[in-house]
Structure 1
Amino acid sequence: MALRVVVWSTGTIGKLSIAGVLARPELELVGVWVSNPDKVGKDVGELAGLGRELGLKASGSKEELLALRPDCIVHGAMTDDRIMEAIEDLISFLEAGVNVVASGPVALVYPDGVFPDELNERIRSAARAGNASLHVNGIDPGFANDVLPLAMTSLSKRIDELRVAEIADYSTYYQPMTMTELFGFGKPMETESMLWMPGVLSLAWGPVVRQLAAGLDLTLDEPLVEKIDRRPAEEDYDIASCHIAKGTMAAVRFEVIGTVNGTPRIVLEHVTRTKADAQPEWPIPSHGDGCYRIEITGDPVMTVDFVHHGENGDHNDSGMLVTAMRLVNAVQAVVEAQPGLLTVLDLPQITGRGLVTKD
């Protein structure tokens, strides 16, 4: 019998998740939630841009969708600007006995040491009460800096440092709120954007460092170390999300570092440009406009560059797709897992089983 799935939102991740659920033979799409009242009652196929109707109407009612008794909710709604409200939603799903795979809040990728113990226990208590599980993942934070690097460490004899990096041109990335309000791109250099406030990087990407440490049985110094290098634009130009004026913020390189006795052992790095040829002295992708790079210093020394792009050639489009599909493809494993707040350390290998083209 197919697992009954509700997709939460019809934004970019939500639309891709709808198509992903329809592609998996063991999943049945039974409901879709929308926040915009104008979308309520519209056919999901239309909202997802599928070019066909599905005979399934979108709903704005949490109660109506929970009454469908789905096995799992694929939650792809934006959470960066409403973290606590999103967590309350996730807790209510668990209490109702519904499993959840979600793209955020990203701190829940590995919340121990990030969120207060009382909050983490609230989520775990809700999972036990509802006999359900919650798993938050994606591509970054997610597969590119948890599953992939941990798999590589299985080849090591000795590990001196594990570095996981995203190196990307964000000029075609369309998320205005994220780009302007969180990163501060296109704003004066003195603007105190959220991500650059002390401790915020450790909240957003610290879970990556902590999960890698847990996977390697490593106890880190506290607190994690943050390093930030922001650069201004040398000319005026436009990107998908906003206008970048000369002198405003246009690029950033940051690190979240886990040390042991003061020595860096696990490093999360981001090199984010809004113009491909800017800051040539910073790390550059091995191919195209972006890559995820895993570097293991030790014995042996290993480097892997993970490159992806959509059918149209754009890596930002495929970044959204791989995030959505990481969630959708994890549904069955999460439904079958023991109740709890699950990390990748708790789940079996997740594959694209059933997705190979047969025609």
Structure 2
Amino acid sequence: MSRRLRVVQWTTGKTGRAAVRGMVGHPVLDLVGCYAHAPDKVGRDVGELCGLDPIGVLATDDVEALVALEPDCVSYMAYRPNFDHLERILESGVNVVSTMYMMAGFGYGEEATHRLRDACLRGGSSLYASGIYPGHAPNVALAASAMCSRIERVSILESLDIAGYANEQMFRAQGFDLPPEDPAAAVACEASCGSFKDQIPVLARELGVRIDRVGFRVEFATANEDTDFGFMTVRKGHIAGFKGTVSGDRDGRSLIECSFVWKLGEDMTPNWPVTHGYIIELDGDPGVRVRLEPQGDHLDGTVTTALPAVNAIPQVCAAPPGIVNLTGLPFVRGAHQLRP
């Protein structure tokens, strides 16, 4: 890098705090500002908000003040997108990286996608969305595909007990604790998989295959007893786990699968095993399996979600204007994170 890059962090929720910790002390990135959604965070030091020593940067809810800092990039990790904010950032010429993968496709609707793209073109900025899955794990699948002379099916599985994440709002939006016979349960789960649906055509395009539909299927596991997780309770007989697949199909056959097993705890029926990570399988010649799993007892999902976006900031700042995907950038890696 010929110069250091100025970055503003947008919100300090679980993923945003991991992003800040990944940027503080970074050899190339300078954290110069932070947007706070919660009023009680305004005026507080960002380091303290993220469990660090003070870093001399105070959080604010003043969008124009943050734009006036002339950052190179905003690390956008809000719970839900504010398209007015995003449009203002992008049209001002500031690049955006985000863990909200649906902004890279049409998960928020065509109008939102065109609005973001047009703001990029007006400002000469780039918008990039990633995370561990969708995002980085599929990129690993693409890298593994280079070893194959023939591929019959690509499957990527996220298999986790997510009880330690403590996000009641997100879990209820996904359909946890609904009765399994409630029609809203499958609808809620499928709606939460919009990012997987946006990932499927990206993989299909990069693998040079045509798909004619994106399918969805899901099974439910129900709690054997009322279970209090501290941040929410799942009632007996209500949904405590999902096992599902978003598939890219052609002529009735599944070619690309983004699958998931999400569980709150273990006391449920059926009690599917979890791998506590990611399994990537390519059926073909040769068949290939790649596992992304923790070396210890726990894979911190906030870090693995935030850092694929943070580590892409230099490439995104150098990218042409518009919405760019992982295949539109030089290979994203943990450059500068290997430190003596």
TMscore range, shorter length: over 0.9
Name the CA distance, whole Å, in 2 between partners of 1:102 and 1:202: 17
Q: Distance in 2 between matches of 1:216 and 1:61?
A: 43
Kindly indicate whether residue 173 of structure 2 is the aligned counterpart of residue 172 of structure 1.
no
Structure 1 residues 216-231: aligned runs within 5 Å? 216-222=207-213, 224-231=214-221
- Tell me what 1:21 maps to: 23
Q: 1:297: which partner in 2?
A: 283
Give the alignment's TM-score, normalised by structure 1.
0.88
What is the distance in 2 between the residues matched to 1:127 and 1:37? 29
Report the Cα offset of residue 351 of structure 1: 1.8
Distance 1:319 1:58, change over 3 A: same
State whether residues 174 and 189 of structure 2, in contact with CA within 8 Å, keep that contact through their aligned partners in structure 1: no
Q: What does 1:1-359 align with in structure 2 at a 5 Å threshold?
A: 1-50=3-52, 52-79=53-80, 83=81, 86-104=82-100, 106-109=101-104, 111=105, 114=107, 116-144=109-137, 146-180=138-172, 182-193=173-184, 196-197=187-188, 200=191, 203-222=194-213, 224-276=214-266, 278=268, 282=272, 284-285=274-275, 290-308=276-294, 313-315=297-299, 318-358=300-340
Matched position secondary structure for 1:127: helix
CA distance in 2, matches of 1:209, 1:306: 20
1:54-86 deviation digits (Å, cap 9, x = unpaired): 22211111011001110000011112xxx5xx2
Distance 1:94 1:314 in 2: 36
Amino acid of the structure 2 residue aligned with 1:174: A
One-letter code aligned to 2:145: T
CA contact (8 A) 1:186 1:250 kept: yes
Tell me which amino acid in the other structure corresponds to 1:59. Answer: T
Distance change (3 Å), C-alpha of 1:53 and 1:208:
same
Q: Classify 1:241/1:292 alpha carbon distance in 2 versus 1 (closer, same or farther; 3 Å).
A: farther
SS of match in other structure, 2:132 = coil
Q: CA deviation at 1:196?
A: 2.5
Letter in structure 1 aligned against 2:170? T
Check conservation: 1:162, 1:265, Cα contact below 8 A: yes
State the Cα deviation string for residues 139-173 of structure 1 (Å, max 9, x = none): 122111x2111111111111111111111111212
Instruction: Calculate the TM-score normalised by the size of structure 2.
Output: 0.92
8 Å Cα contact 2:174/2:188 also seen in 1: no
Asked if structure 1 preserves the Cα contact closer than 8 Å seen for 2:223 and 2:269, the reply is no
Q: How far 1:120 sits from its partner (Å)?
A: 2.9
What is the DSSP-based 3-state SS (H/G/I as helix, E as strand, rest coil) of the residue aligned with 1:121?
Answer: helix
| 1:138–1:275 Cα change, 3 Å | same
Q: Distance in 2 between matches of 1:283 and 1:55?
A: 45
Distance of 1:47 and 1:118 partners within structure 2: 35
Residue identity in the other structure for 1:132: S
> What SS is found at the alignment partner of 1:163?
strand
Q: Please tell me the residue identity of whatever aligns with 1:332.
A: P
Letter in 1 for 2:141: P
Question: Following TM superposition, by how much is the alpha carbon of 1:343 offset from its aligned partner in structure 2, in angstroms?
Answer: 0.3
Find the residue that maps to 2:79 and give its secondary structure. Answer: coil
* CA positional deviation for 1:178: 0.7
The 3 A distance-change label for structure 1 pair 201 and 9 is closer
Change (3 A) 1:39 1:184: same
Aligned-pair distance for 1:191?
A: 4.2
Secondary structure of residue in 2 paired with 1:355:
coil
320-329 or 186-195, which deviates more: 186-195
User: SS where residue 309 of structure 2 aligns?
Assistant: helix
User: What SS class does the counterpart of residue 69 from structure 2 fall into?
Assistant: coil
Q: Deviations over 1:35-62 (max 9, x none)?
A: 1222211122211110x22222111110
Q: Distance in 2 between matches of 1:230 and 1:207?
A: 23
Runs (5+) with no aligned partner, structure 1: none
- Seen in structure 2, the aligned counterparts of structure 1 residues 202 and 291 have a Cα distance that, compared at 3 Å, is closer
CA RMSD of aligned residues (A): 2.1
Tell whether the 8 Å contact from 1:184 to 1:193 is kept in structure 2 after alignment. yes
Deviation at 1:193, TM superposition (A): 4.6
CA pair 199-19 structure 1, distance change in 2 beyond 3 A? closer
Q: CA deviation at 1:98?
A: 0.3
The offset of 1:95, in angstroms, is 0.5
Moved over 6 A (4+): none
> 2: CA distance between counterparts of 1:198 and 1:340?
30
| In 1: Cα distance, 2:24 partner to 2:302 partner | 17
